[in-house]
Amino acid sequence: MKPPTFELANIYLESRATTPLLFVLSPGSDPLKALLKFAETKNKRPDPISLGQGQGERASKQIEAALKSGDWVILQNCHLSVSWMPTLEKICEDIESDPRSAHRDFRLWLTSYPSDAFPVSILQNGIKMTREAKKGLQANLQDTYGVDPISDPSWFGTSSDPKKFRKLVFGLAFFHAVIQERRLYGPLGWNIRYEFNETDLRICVRQLKIYLDQYPDKTPIEALNYLTAECNYGGRVTDMNDRILIETLLTDYYTERIFNEDYKFSPSGIYYAPAHGEVDKYIGYA
């Protein structure tokens, strides 16, 4: 059975100004970009705070101001600010006990990995959500084409070389799905389990577009491979053999061979980059 679609609009409709909204994080999933995009539809421009040392006071002040103005507050990584959690619990209890103190448009969004230090009262009174990384090549590929900026038609359709760009985007999406799936096989997949996520993918597709636009005469495959395998995804990789593996895997998908219509990703011939077309064609193939 497939999990229900992650719809922030529906979750928002169920919330109130006095209801904290908590994202329970899982490896490989980052809800921030989707949340910021949804905030734009509500004419909100929240300034996310990543909690940690010294950020508690800043968070308290932002909440105090937003309660009056009706803005949204996004506090990331609550599990990293254990000492400030009692303060957050008290703030939420005060808002719940005096609903009139909160502007009707105010919302408090929180993200945290599971933690024993997270306040139980917020768990009980808030709306809890989780967005797990998709499992399976098909689900991963389909999810990739819903990631900003790939999902933005005005961005996806403005490359100086659409055919090369869309082929390489698909190759990158397939690579992203493969390295995520390898985590399911424990030490057979990776010596160390890495939390590759959508942020790595976004950086790479933006770099891809920039490089193709800057170098229209020759595809800078070597530079793209270096940035992707060494700097972006590779920035998380600490084991030498894992580093060799990620570099090797990438060369099957980030390659000029992908421009040939008869090129296949595997000997079976099942996996390949579809012929040039609109984004729906790539989603349909997946």
pLDDT at site 30: 75
CA-CA-CA-CA torsion sign (159, 160, 166, 171): negative
Q: Verify that 73 and 32 share a domain, yes or no.
A: yes
Taking the C-alpha atoms of 75, 147, 14 and 135 in order, what is their torsion angle to the nearest 10 degrees? -100
Q: Verify that 119 and 147 share a domain, yes or no.
A: no
Burial class from Cβ neighbours inside 10 Å (0-12, 13-18, 19+) for residue 57 reads exposed
pLDDT at site 279: 77
pLDDT at site 3: 47
pLDDT at site 74: 96
Q: How many distinct structural domains can be found in the chain?
A: 2
pLDDT at site 134: 63
CATH number at residue 55: 3.40.50.300
Q: What is the mean pLDDT for each group of 10 consecutive residues in the chain (286 residues)?
A: 63 94 81 87 94 90 96 94 95 95 96 91 92 72 79 82 92 92 89 87 93 90 94 92 95 93 89 83 74
pLDDT at site 2: 47
Choosing from 130, 148, 174, the residue where a domain stops is 130
Q: How far apart are the first and last CA of the chain?
A: 18
Choosing from 130, 146, 172, the residue where a domain stops is 130
pLDDT at site 191: 95
Residue 54 belongs to domain spanning: 8-130
Residue 220 dihedral angles phi and psi, to the nearest 5°: -80, 65
pLDDT at site 132: 64
State the Cα–Cα distance between residues 233 and 93, nearest whole angstrom: 41
| Selection from 17, 35, 28 nearest residue 75 by Cα | 35
pLDDT at site 76: 93
Longest dimension (CA), the chain: 66
